[in-house]
Amino acid sequence: MKPLHHEIPHGSLAHADHLDWLESEAIHIMREVAGQCSNPVLLFSGGKDSICLLRIAEKAFRPGRFPFALLHVDTGHNYPEVTSFRDKRAAELGERLIVRTVDDSMKRGTVVLKSPTESRNKHQSVTLLEAVAEFAFDACIGGARRDEEKARAKERIFSFRDEFGQWDPKNQRPELWDLYNARINPGENIRAFPISNWTELDVWQYIAREKLELPSIYFAHRRPVVRRGGALVPVTELTPARDGEAIEEVLVRFRTVGDITCTAPVESAADTVEKIIAETAVTTITERGATRLDDQTSEASMEQRKKEGYF
Q: Name the phi and psi angles at 234, rounded to 5.
A: -60, 140
Q: What is the pLDDT of residue 262?
A: 87
pLDDT at position 283 is: 83
Model's pTM, two decimal places? 0.87
Q: What strands, in cross-sheet order, belong to the sheet with 189-192?
A: 97-101, 69-74, 40-43, 139-141, 189-192, 158-161
pLDDT of residue 2: 46
Which pLDDT score, from 0 to 100, does residue 77 have? 93
Name the helix (H) or strand (E) containing 72: strand 69-74
User: What Å distances lie between residue 18 and 22, 34, 60, 238, CA to CA?
Assistant: 6, 25, 18, 41
Which residues in the chain show pLDDT less than 70?
A: 1-16, 150-153, 164-165, 167, 286-311
What confidence score (pLDDT) does residue 301 get? Answer: 66
At residue 14, the pLDDT reads 40
Among the listed residues 184, 203, 225, the one whose alpha carbon sits nearest the alpha carbon of residue 276: 203
Query: Contact, 114 vs 167, CB < 8 A?
Result: no
Tell me the C-alpha to C-alpha distance, in Å, between residue 141 and each of 10, 58, 92, 229.
29, 14, 20, 34
The C-alpha atoms of residue 164 and residue 102 are separated, in whole angstroms, by 19
Q: What pLDDT, on a 0 to 100 scale, did the predictor assign at position 161? A: 79
- Write down the pLDDT at residue 81: 95
How many whole angstroms separate alpha carbon 158 and alpha carbon 108?
31
Q: What is the pLDDT of residue 162?
A: 75
Pairing mode, strands 248-253 and 266-267:
antiparallel
